[in-house]
Amino acid sequence: MNWMNIKTESLRSAEFSGCDNAALGAWLRVLSFCCEQENGGRLAGAVEWNDRTWMISAGVTKAEVESAKPLLYCEGADYFCAAYPTEKEAMVAANRKAGKRGGKASAQAYAQAHARPDAQAPAQAPARPLAQAPAATEGEEEGERKENKKGMEEEPPEDPTVAKARQAREETEEDKAATRDNAKLLLEALNELTGKKFTPVDSHLNPIIARLNEPGIEPEECEKMLRRQVKLWKNDPKMSAHLVPSTLFRASNFQKYYDQRDEGVANGQSPLEAFYRQPVPGFTPLARPFDTQNGKRLMQ
Protein backbone atom coordinates (compact mmCIF):
# COMPACT_ATOMS: atom_id res chain seq x y z
CA MET A 1 0.00 0.00 0.00
CA ASN A 2 1.23 3.48 -0.85
CA TRP A 3 -0.85 5.19 1.85
CA MET A 4 -1.97 4.66 5.47
CA ASN A 5 -5.56 4.88 6.66
CA ILE A 6 -5.53 5.37 10.45
CA LYS A 7 -8.76 5.70 12.45
CA THR A 8 -8.88 8.89 14.50
CA GLU A 9 -10.42 7.03 17.42
CA SER A 10 -7.28 4.89 17.60
CA LEU A 11 -5.11 8.00 18.02
CA ARG A 12 -7.23 9.01 21.05
CA SER A 13 -7.03 5.61 22.74
CA ALA A 14 -5.21 4.91 26.02
CA GLU A 15 -2.22 3.40 24.22
CA PHE A 16 -1.56 6.63 22.31
CA SER A 17 -2.40 9.14 25.05
CA GLY A 18 0.38 7.86 27.30
CA CYS A 19 3.15 7.93 24.67
CA ASP A 20 5.60 10.74 24.00
CA ASN A 21 6.50 12.16 20.60
CA ALA A 22 9.57 9.93 20.23
CA ALA A 23 7.45 6.80 20.68
CA LEU A 24 4.86 8.10 18.22
CA GLY A 25 7.58 8.80 15.65
CA ALA A 26 9.02 5.29 15.96
CA TRP A 27 5.53 3.76 15.67
CA LEU A 28 4.78 5.85 12.56
CA ARG A 29 7.96 4.71 10.80
CA VAL A 30 7.29 1.04 11.57
CA LEU A 31 3.64 1.41 10.54
CA SER A 32 4.63 2.89 7.17
CA PHE A 33 7.05 -0.01 6.58
CA CYS A 34 4.32 -2.55 7.45
CA CYS A 35 1.91 -0.85 5.05
CA GLU A 36 4.49 -1.01 2.27
CA GLN A 37 5.00 -4.72 2.94
CA GLU A 38 1.25 -5.38 3.48
CA ASN A 39 2.13 -7.80 6.26
CA GLY A 40 -0.94 -7.29 8.42
CA GLY A 41 1.04 -5.23 10.95
CA ARG A 42 3.17 -8.24 11.90
CA LEU A 43 6.96 -8.36 11.66
CA ALA A 44 7.82 -12.05 11.84
CA GLY A 45 10.94 -12.80 13.91
CA ALA A 46 11.61 -9.10 14.58
CA VAL A 47 12.39 -9.75 18.26
CA GLU A 48 15.79 -11.04 17.10
CA TRP A 49 16.48 -8.08 14.77
CA ASN A 50 19.49 -5.93 15.57
CA ASP A 51 19.86 -2.18 15.07
CA ARG A 52 21.11 -2.59 11.50
CA THR A 53 18.10 -4.67 10.45
CA TRP A 54 15.68 -2.22 12.06
CA MET A 55 17.37 0.77 10.41
CA ILE A 56 17.39 -0.84 6.96
CA SER A 57 13.76 -1.96 7.25
CA ALA A 58 11.94 0.84 9.09
CA GLY A 59 14.53 3.56 9.77
CA VAL A 60 14.48 3.14 13.57
CA THR A 61 16.79 1.62 16.15
CA LYS A 62 15.91 -1.34 18.33
CA ALA A 63 15.95 0.88 21.43
CA GLU A 64 13.43 3.25 19.82
CA VAL A 65 11.15 0.30 19.03
CA GLU A 66 11.34 -1.03 22.60
CA SER A 67 10.54 2.43 24.00
CA ALA A 68 7.40 2.69 21.84
CA LYS A 69 5.40 0.09 23.79
CA PRO A 70 2.43 -0.51 23.74
CA LEU A 71 2.21 0.94 20.21
CA LEU A 72 4.80 -1.64 19.14
CA TYR A 73 4.42 -4.86 21.11
CA CYS A 74 5.88 -8.34 20.75
CA GLU A 75 4.27 -11.74 21.06
CA GLY A 76 6.68 -14.62 20.94
CA ALA A 77 9.27 -13.89 18.29
CA ASP A 78 7.10 -11.42 16.33
CA TYR A 79 6.47 -7.69 16.66
CA PHE A 80 3.01 -6.20 16.05
CA CYS A 81 2.12 -2.62 15.12
CA ALA A 82 -0.91 -1.07 16.82
CA ALA A 83 -3.73 0.50 14.75
CA TYR A 84 -2.61 -1.28 11.58
CA PRO A 85 -5.34 -0.86 8.86
CA THR A 86 -6.03 -4.56 8.27
CA GLU A 87 -9.44 -3.83 6.70
CA LYS A 88 -7.90 -1.47 4.14
CA GLU A 89 -5.19 -3.97 3.34
CA ALA A 90 -7.82 -6.61 2.59
CA MET A 91 -9.73 -4.10 0.43
CA VAL A 92 -6.58 -3.19 -1.54
CA ALA A 93 -5.76 -6.86 -2.09
CA ALA A 94 -9.29 -7.54 -3.34
CA ASN A 95 -9.24 -4.53 -5.69
CA ARG A 96 -5.83 -5.54 -7.01
CA LYS A 97 -7.03 -9.06 -7.69
CA ALA A 98 -10.15 -7.83 -9.47
CA GLY A 99 -8.11 -5.29 -11.43
CA LYS A 100 -5.77 -7.97 -12.69
CA ARG A 101 -8.69 -10.00 -13.99
CA GLY A 102 -10.23 -6.97 -15.70
CA GLY A 103 -6.92 -5.80 -17.16
CA LYS A 104 -6.21 -9.19 -18.73
CA ALA A 105 -9.63 -9.30 -20.34
CA SER A 106 -9.19 -5.75 -21.65
CA ALA A 107 -5.78 -6.64 -23.13
CA GLN A 108 -7.23 -9.62 -24.97
CA ALA A 109 -10.06 -7.51 -26.37
CA TYR A 110 -7.59 -4.84 -27.51
CA ALA A 111 -5.37 -7.45 -29.22
CA GLN A 112 -8.33 -8.89 -31.10
CA ALA A 113 -9.55 -5.47 -32.21
CA HIS A 114 -6.11 -4.38 -33.45
CA ALA A 115 -4.90 -7.61 -35.11
CA ARG A 116 -2.29 -7.10 -37.87
CA PRO A 117 -3.87 -7.30 -41.35
CA ASP A 118 -0.90 -9.23 -42.83
CA ALA A 119 -1.60 -12.19 -40.59
CA GLN A 120 -4.66 -13.34 -42.48
CA ALA A 121 -6.08 -16.83 -42.16
CA PRO A 122 -6.51 -18.92 -45.34
CA ALA A 123 -9.80 -18.50 -47.15
CA GLN A 124 -12.49 -20.93 -46.17
CA ALA A 125 -15.91 -21.75 -47.53
CA PRO A 126 -18.62 -19.66 -45.99
CA ALA A 127 -20.16 -21.40 -43.04
CA ARG A 128 -23.82 -22.22 -42.97
CA PRO A 129 -25.78 -19.61 -41.06
CA LEU A 130 -26.78 -20.77 -37.60
CA ALA A 131 -30.33 -20.62 -36.39
CA GLN A 132 -30.96 -17.45 -34.38
CA ALA A 133 -31.82 -18.03 -30.72
CA PRO A 134 -35.08 -16.45 -29.61
CA ALA A 135 -34.70 -13.02 -28.07
CA ALA A 136 -34.66 -12.95 -24.29
CA THR A 137 -37.76 -11.61 -22.62
CA GLU A 138 -37.69 -8.56 -20.36
CA GLY A 139 -37.96 -10.74 -17.25
CA GLU A 140 -35.03 -12.92 -18.30
CA GLU A 141 -32.86 -9.85 -18.98
CA GLU A 142 -33.69 -8.46 -15.55
CA GLY A 143 -32.81 -11.78 -13.92
CA GLU A 144 -29.49 -11.90 -15.76
CA ARG A 145 -28.65 -8.36 -14.67
CA LYS A 146 -29.37 -9.27 -11.03
CA GLU A 147 -27.23 -12.39 -11.28
CA ASN A 148 -24.32 -10.41 -12.74
CA LYS A 149 -24.66 -7.76 -10.05
CA LYS A 150 -24.71 -10.43 -7.35
CA GLY A 151 -21.53 -11.93 -8.72
CA MET A 152 -19.82 -8.53 -8.74
CA GLU A 153 -20.83 -7.82 -5.12
CA GLU A 154 -19.42 -11.09 -3.75
CA GLU A 155 -16.26 -10.37 -1.79
CA PRO A 156 -13.19 -12.46 -2.57
CA PRO A 157 -12.00 -14.87 0.14
CA GLU A 158 -9.80 -13.25 2.78
CA ASP A 159 -6.10 -13.89 2.48
CA PRO A 160 -4.96 -16.36 5.22
CA THR A 161 -2.12 -14.09 6.35
CA VAL A 162 -4.44 -11.10 6.68
CA ALA A 163 -7.04 -13.22 8.48
CA LYS A 164 -4.45 -14.51 10.95
CA ALA A 165 -3.17 -10.98 11.64
CA ARG A 166 -6.71 -9.71 12.12
CA GLN A 167 -7.53 -12.55 14.51
CA ALA A 168 -4.37 -11.90 16.52
CA ARG A 169 -5.23 -8.21 16.68
CA GLU A 170 -8.78 -8.93 17.87
CA GLU A 171 -7.52 -11.31 20.55
CA THR A 172 -5.02 -8.70 21.74
CA GLU A 173 -7.75 -6.06 21.97
CA GLU A 174 -9.94 -8.47 23.95
CA ASP A 175 -7.09 -9.16 26.38
CA LYS A 176 -6.48 -5.45 26.85
CA ALA A 177 -10.18 -4.82 27.52
CA ALA A 178 -10.30 -7.67 30.08
CA THR A 179 -7.18 -6.35 31.86
CA ARG A 180 -8.65 -2.84 32.04
CA ASP A 181 -11.90 -4.24 33.50
CA ASN A 182 -9.92 -6.10 36.18
CA ALA A 183 -8.04 -2.90 36.99
CA LYS A 184 -11.35 -1.08 37.49
CA LEU A 185 -12.55 -3.82 39.84
CA LEU A 186 -9.36 -3.54 41.92
CA LEU A 187 -9.78 0.24 42.09
CA GLU A 188 -13.35 -0.24 43.32
CA ALA A 189 -12.10 -2.70 45.95
CA LEU A 190 -9.55 -0.13 47.15
CA ASN A 191 -12.33 2.47 47.43
CA GLU A 192 -14.47 0.11 49.51
CA LEU A 193 -11.61 -0.82 51.85
CA THR A 194 -10.38 2.75 52.42
CA GLY A 195 -13.57 4.77 52.00
CA LYS A 196 -11.87 6.87 49.32
CA LYS A 197 -13.29 7.78 45.93
CA PHE A 198 -10.68 7.12 43.26
CA THR A 199 -12.19 7.56 39.78
CA PRO A 200 -11.30 5.11 36.95
CA VAL A 201 -9.08 7.52 35.01
CA ASP A 202 -5.83 6.59 33.27
CA SER A 203 -3.63 8.05 36.00
CA HIS A 204 -5.16 5.59 38.49
CA LEU A 205 -5.68 2.63 36.16
CA ASN A 206 -2.38 2.60 34.26
CA PRO A 207 -0.20 1.51 37.25
CA ILE A 208 -2.65 -1.34 37.99
CA ILE A 209 -2.79 -2.39 34.32
CA ALA A 210 1.00 -2.41 34.10
CA ARG A 211 1.28 -4.78 37.07
CA LEU A 212 -1.52 -7.07 35.80
CA ASN A 213 0.40 -7.42 32.52
CA GLU A 214 3.40 -8.85 34.36
CA PRO A 215 3.79 -12.65 34.31
CA GLY A 216 2.24 -14.54 37.22
CA ILE A 217 0.18 -11.63 38.61
CA GLU A 218 -3.48 -12.53 39.28
CA PRO A 219 -6.29 -10.02 40.04
CA GLU A 220 -7.61 -12.12 42.95
CA GLU A 221 -4.18 -12.15 44.59
CA CYS A 222 -3.88 -8.39 44.07
CA GLU A 223 -7.11 -7.93 46.05
CA LYS A 224 -5.62 -9.97 48.92
CA MET A 225 -2.60 -7.68 48.82
CA LEU A 226 -4.86 -4.61 49.03
CA ARG A 227 -6.76 -6.01 52.03
CA ARG A 228 -3.51 -6.68 53.90
CA GLN A 229 -1.99 -3.25 53.19
CA VAL A 230 -5.21 -1.45 54.15
CA LYS A 231 -5.43 -3.40 57.42
CA LEU A 232 -1.77 -2.61 58.10
CA TRP A 233 -1.83 1.13 57.27
CA LYS A 234 -5.40 2.36 57.63
CA ASN A 235 -5.12 3.33 61.31
CA ASP A 236 -1.65 4.84 60.91
CA PRO A 237 -2.01 8.59 60.11
CA LYS A 238 1.33 8.63 58.32
CA MET A 239 1.02 5.42 56.30
CA SER A 240 -2.68 5.78 55.42
CA ALA A 241 -1.71 8.54 52.98
CA HIS A 242 0.11 5.88 50.92
CA LEU A 243 -3.04 3.84 50.27
CA VAL A 244 -3.23 5.10 46.68
CA PRO A 245 -2.83 3.21 43.36
CA SER A 246 0.37 5.03 42.40
CA THR A 247 2.11 3.75 45.57
CA LEU A 248 0.56 0.29 45.97
CA PHE A 249 1.10 -0.61 42.29
CA ARG A 250 4.38 1.19 41.69
CA ALA A 251 6.91 -1.11 40.06
CA SER A 252 9.47 -0.59 42.83
CA ASN A 253 6.98 -1.36 45.64
CA PHE A 254 4.45 -3.78 44.24
CA GLN A 255 6.36 -7.08 44.28
CA LYS A 256 7.21 -6.70 47.98
CA TYR A 257 3.56 -6.07 48.89
CA TYR A 258 2.36 -8.83 46.56
CA ASP A 259 4.72 -11.43 48.06
CA GLN A 260 3.47 -10.61 51.59
CA ARG A 261 -0.22 -10.85 50.67
CA ASP A 262 -0.81 -14.06 52.69
CA GLU A 263 0.96 -12.88 55.83
CA GLY A 264 -1.54 -12.14 58.60
CA VAL A 265 -1.84 -8.82 60.43
CA ALA A 266 -3.33 -9.23 63.93
CA ASN A 267 -5.88 -6.56 64.81
CA GLY A 268 -4.22 -3.96 62.66
CA GLN A 269 -0.84 -4.40 64.39
CA SER A 270 2.40 -4.23 62.50
CA PRO A 271 3.95 -7.60 61.55
CA LEU A 272 6.76 -7.05 64.11
CA GLU A 273 4.34 -6.31 66.94
CA ALA A 274 2.15 -9.28 65.99
CA PHE A 275 5.24 -11.52 66.07
CA TYR A 276 6.22 -10.55 69.62
CA ARG A 277 2.65 -11.02 70.84
CA GLN A 278 2.51 -14.66 69.70
CA PRO A 279 2.37 -17.21 72.56
CA VAL A 280 5.52 -19.23 73.22
CA PRO A 281 4.88 -23.03 73.08
CA GLY A 282 5.37 -24.72 76.50
CA PHE A 283 5.56 -21.44 78.45
CA THR A 284 2.87 -20.41 80.94
CA PRO A 285 3.12 -16.73 81.81
CA LEU A 286 2.81 -15.65 85.45
CA ALA A 287 -0.36 -13.97 86.54
CA ARG A 288 -0.23 -10.20 86.34
CA PRO A 289 -2.14 -7.65 88.41
CA PHE A 290 -5.72 -7.24 87.34
CA ASP A 291 -5.72 -10.60 85.42
CA THR A 292 -9.04 -12.28 86.14
CA GLN A 293 -10.68 -15.61 85.39
CA ASN A 294 -14.42 -16.24 85.82
CA GLY A 295 -14.71 -12.84 87.48
CA LYS A 296 -12.05 -13.59 90.14
CA ARG A 297 -8.69 -11.93 90.35
CA LEU A 298 -5.88 -14.45 89.81
CA MET A 299 -3.26 -12.52 91.76
CA GLN A 300 -4.33 -11.77 95.38
Amino acid at 10: S
Q: What is the pLDDT of residue 168?
A: 87
In a domain, 25, yes or no: yes
Amino acid at 182: N
Segment 30-72, tens digit of pLDDT: 988 988 888 888 999 999 999 889 898 889 999 999 998 888 8
Are 74 and 170 members of one domain?
A: no
Name the domain boundary from 70, 86, 102. Answer: 86
Quote the CA–CA distance of 260 and 186 in Å, as a whole number: 18
Q: What is the pLDDT of residue 161?
A: 83
Q: What is the pLDDT of residue 222?
A: 94
In a domain, 222, yes or no: yes
Quote the CA–CA distance of 71 and 65 in Å, as a whole number: 9
Domain interval for residue 58: 8-86
Peptide bond before 122: cis, by omega within 30 degrees of 0? no
pTM: 0.39
Q: What is the pLDDT of residue 206?
A: 95
Name the domain boundary from 57, 86, 115. Answer: 86
* Cα of 108 vs its chain's centroid, Å: 48
Q: What is the pLDDT of residue 129?
A: 46
Question: Which H or E run contains 78?
Answer: strand 78-81
In a domain, 289, yes or no: no
pLDDT by residue for the chain (300 residues), tens only, comes to: 777 778 787 777 777 877 888 988 998 999 889 888 888 889 999 999 998 898 988 899 999 999 988 888 888 999 999 888 888 888 887 777 766 555 555 455 445 544 555 544 444 444 444 445 455 566 666 666 666 665 555 666 777 888 888 888 888 899 999 999 999 999 999 999 999 999 999 999 999 999 999 999 999 999 999 999 999 999 888 899 999 999 999 999 999 999 999 887 655 455 555 555 566 666 665 555 555 666 665 555
3-state SS of 103-143 is HHHHHHHHHHHCCCCCCCCCCCCCCCCCCCCCCCCHHHHHH
In a domain, 157, yes or no: no
In a domain, 91, yes or no: no
In a domain, 61, yes or no: yes
Are 170 and 269 members of one domain?
A: yes
Number of domains the chain is built from = 2
Select from 45, 43, 53, 132 the least CA-distant residue to 82.
43
In a domain, 284, yes or no: no
Q: What is the pLDDT of residue 154?
A: 60
In a domain, 176, yes or no: yes
Report the 10 Å Cβ neighbour count for 163: 14
